[in-house]
C-alpha cells in the first residue's frame, strides 16, 4: 500500500513538473489593419518621410482664448493635492502658460531632433531617430528603441538622449554609444489613432517591430516604462531573436500569488526572496495599498468609458492640464500630494510640463490615448496570453523608489527568467527618463554591458 502511494506521489509530481515547467513560448506575430475603411489591395507605402512640428498664430490664439475662459472651483483650505489638482496653484500655471510660455520656442526645441513618419498597418506612425554626433573609430552605434507611456510622450526622452548618443560629452564613457528611436504610440501625439477597436499593446509591439525592421535593424535593444514597458515586453515575447536585450523601469508582473505573498511578507520575507530594501518599499502594505487605490481612479474610467471624459479634456486646455499634471505630481512622489503646488517644480520645469501638455492639446489626442486603457484592460486583468507568458530575452530592471508599485527582484525574475541586472535606484519615480535621465541612462548602459559580456 505504502509503495503504491509512494509511486503515485512520484508519478503525480512528475506529471506536475512536466506540465508546469517553463516553456519558451513566443507571441504569434499576427497582422492588423487600423486605418479607416477596408484595407486596400494595393501594397502599403513603406516610405519614411521627414516630418516637422509646426504651429500657427490661429492655434496659439485659440489656446489663449480657451485658457482665459476657465472656470476654476476654489480649493479647500489646506487640501494640498489630496483632492486632485489644487486650483490655487493652477492659477500660477495658467498665468505662466498665457504670459510666459513660448510655444513657438518649444516647437523649435522639439525639432532639435529629426522627426519622421511612415505608414504601418494603415496608420501614420511618428518617431524621432537620433544618431550619435560622433563615433569612436571602427565602432557602430547600438540601436535602442525607447517607448513612452501615458500621460507622457516621446518628449520624455529628450534629456536622456544625449547621455546615450553622445555619452563622452556628458561625463560618461564611450564604451556604449546608441542611436535612439522613439516612436509615438498610435493615438498619441503625432501618431495616427486607430479607426478600429482592438489596438492594444500587442498590436503596438508588432507595429514598432515592423518599424525597426523597416529602419534596417535586425537586432536591437528595447527600453520602456509605463505602457512602454508592456509594449517592449510584448515585442520581446513576439520577436526574441531580434530583441538583443530588454530594459524596463516598470514591470507588469502581477500574478495570482502576488498579494498573498506580499501580505505574508513581513513574517516570511526571506522565504519569498524579499530583501530589506523590498520590505522598506512594500511595507506597511496598508499604506502602500491605500496609496495605490487613491492613484488608480483614472484607470477605471479610461478602461471603461474613455470617450466620455475625453470630451471634456479635449475641449478645455486647463482641464487637460489639471488631469495630466496631477499625475506628474503624485506619480513622481506620493508625498507631493501634501503640497499646495504638488511639488511639480521640484523635479520639472513648467516649460517641460506644458510642452508635454501641448503635444496632447494641439493634436487632439487625449481621447485616443486614453482608449489604450480600454483596449488593454477592458476585458479584465490577466485575460490575454502575453500576461501569463514569460520573457526569454536578457532583461534589465530599474527599481525607482517612488514608482506606483514596487516589484521585488524575485517577482521580476519570475516573469523575466533571464534577468541580468536589477538595480535599486537611489531616487526617482514613475517618469524616470523625464525626471532622472542620467540615472536611467547609467543603468541602461550597465545592463547593455552585461549583455555584451555574455
Catalytic residues: 226, 373, 430
CA dist., res. 228 & res. 282, Å (int): 24
Please name the residues in contact with 181: beta carbons below 8 A apart, sequence gap of 6 or more: 127, 128, 129, 130, 143, 144, 145, 146, 211, 212, 215
Q: What sign for the dihedral angle of Cα 262, 264, 266, 269?
A: negative
Give the Å distances, CA to CA, from 103 to 112, 362, 417.
14, 11, 46
Candidates 125, 115, 114; CA nearest to 44 is 125
Give the Å distances, CA to CA, from 218 to 27, 143, 177, 224.
18, 10, 18, 19
Give ∠ CA 326-330-334 in degrees, rounded to 5: 160
Instruction: State whether residue 208 is helix, strand or coil.
Output: helix
**Look-up of cell digits 522639439:** 110
Q: Are 145 and 221 in contact (CB under 8 A)?
A: yes
CA dist., res. 355 & res. 349, Å (int): 10
Beta bridge partners of 117: 49, 126
Other Cβ atoms within 10 Å of 301 Cβ, number = 16
Q: Are 129 and 49 in contact (CB under 8 A)?
A: no
Give the Å distances, CA to CA, from 404 to 196, 378, 426.
31, 21, 16
CA 263 to chain centre: 28
Other Cβ atoms within 10 Å of 352 Cβ, number = 18
159, 160, 161, 164: CA torsion to nearest 10 = 150
Instruction: State whether residue 379 is helix, strand or coil.
Output: coil
Instruction: State whether residue 183 is helix, strand or coil.
Output: strand
Please name the residues in contact with 373: beta carbons below 8 A apart, sequence gap of 6 or more: 150, 299, 302, 303, 306
Q: Is 59 exposed, middle or buried (0-12, 13-18, 19+ CB in 10 A)?
A: middle
Q: What secondary structure letter does DSSP report for 193? A: P
Amino acid at each position: 500500500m505504502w509503495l503504491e502511494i509512494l509511486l503515485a506521489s512520484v508519478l503525480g509530481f512528475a506529471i506536475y513538473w512536466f506540465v508546469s515547467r517553463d516553456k519558451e513560448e513566443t507571441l504569434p506575430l499576427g497582422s492588423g489593419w487600423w486605418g479607416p475603411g477596408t484595407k486596400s489591395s494595393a501594397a502599403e507605402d513603406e516610405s519614411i518621410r521627414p516630418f516637422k512640428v509646426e504651429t500657427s498664430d490661429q492655434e496659439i490664439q485659440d489656446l489663449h482664448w480657451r485658457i482665459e475662459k476657465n472656470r476654476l472651483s476654489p480649493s479647500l483650505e489646506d487640501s494640498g493635492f489630496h483632492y486632485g489638482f489644487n486650483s490655487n496653484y493652477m492659477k500660477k500655471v495658467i498665468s505662466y502658460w498665457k504670459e510666459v510660455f513660448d510655444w513657438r520656442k518649444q516647437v523649435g526645441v522639439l525639432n532639435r531632433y529629426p522627426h519622421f513618419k511612415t505608414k504601418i498597418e494603415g496608420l501614420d506612425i511618428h518617431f524621432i531617430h537620433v544618431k550619435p554626433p560622433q563615433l569612436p573609430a571602427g565602432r557602430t552605434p547600438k540601436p535602442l528603441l525607447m517607448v513612452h507611456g501615458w500621460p507622457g510622450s516621446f518628449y520624455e526622452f529628450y534629456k536622456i538622449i544625449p547621455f546615450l548618443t553622445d555619452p563622452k560629452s556628458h561625463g560618461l564613457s564611450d564604451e556604449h554609444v546608441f542611436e535612439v528611436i522613439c516612436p509615438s504610440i498610435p493615438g498619441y501625439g503625432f501618431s495616427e489613432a486607430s479607426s478600429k477597436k482592438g489596438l492594444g499593446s500587442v498590436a503596438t509591439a508588432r507595429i514598432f517591430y515592423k518599424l525597426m525592421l523597416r529602419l534596417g535593424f535586425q537586432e536591437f535593444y528595447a527600453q520602456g516604462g509605463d505602457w512602454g514597458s508592456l509594449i517592449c515586453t510584448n515585442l520581446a515575447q513576439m520577436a526574441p531573436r531580434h530583441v538583443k536585450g530588454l530594459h524596463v523601469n516598470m514591470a507588469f508582473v502581477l500574478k495570482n500569488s502576488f498579494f498573498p505573498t506580499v501580505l505574508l511578507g513581513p513574517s516570511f520575507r526571506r522565504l519569498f526572496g524579499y530583501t530589506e530594501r523590498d520590505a522598506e518599499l512594500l511595507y506597511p502594505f496598508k499604506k502602500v495599498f491605500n496609496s495605490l487605490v487613491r492613484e488608480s481612479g483614472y484607470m477605471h474610467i479610461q478602461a471603461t468609458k474613455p470617450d466620455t471624459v475625453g470630451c471634456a479634456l479635449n475641449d478645455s486646455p486647463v482641464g487637460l492640464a489639471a488631469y495630466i499634471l496631477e499625475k506628474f505630481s503624485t506619480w513622481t512622489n506620493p508625498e507631493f500630494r501634501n503640497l499646495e503646488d504638488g511639488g511639480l517644480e521640484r523635479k520639472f520645469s513648467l516649460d517641460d510640463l506644458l510642452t508635454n501638455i501641448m503635444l496632447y492639446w494641439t493634436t487632439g489626442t487625449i481621447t485616443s490615448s486614453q482608449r489604450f486603457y480600454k483596449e488593454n484592460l477592458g476585458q479584465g486583468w490577466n485575460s490575454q496570453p502575453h500576461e501569463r507568458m514569460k520573457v526569454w530575452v536578457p532583461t534589465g530592471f530599474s527599481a525607482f523608489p517612488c514608482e506606483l508599485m514596487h516589484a521585488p527582484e524575485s517577482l521580476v525574475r519570475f516573469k523575466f527568467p533571464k534577468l541580468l541586472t536589477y538595480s535599486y535606484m537611489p531616487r526617482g519615480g514613475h517618469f524616470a527618463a523625464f525626471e532622472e535621465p542620467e540615472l536611467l541612462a547609467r543603468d541602461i548602459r550597465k545592463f547593455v554591458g552585461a549583455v555584451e559580456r555574455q
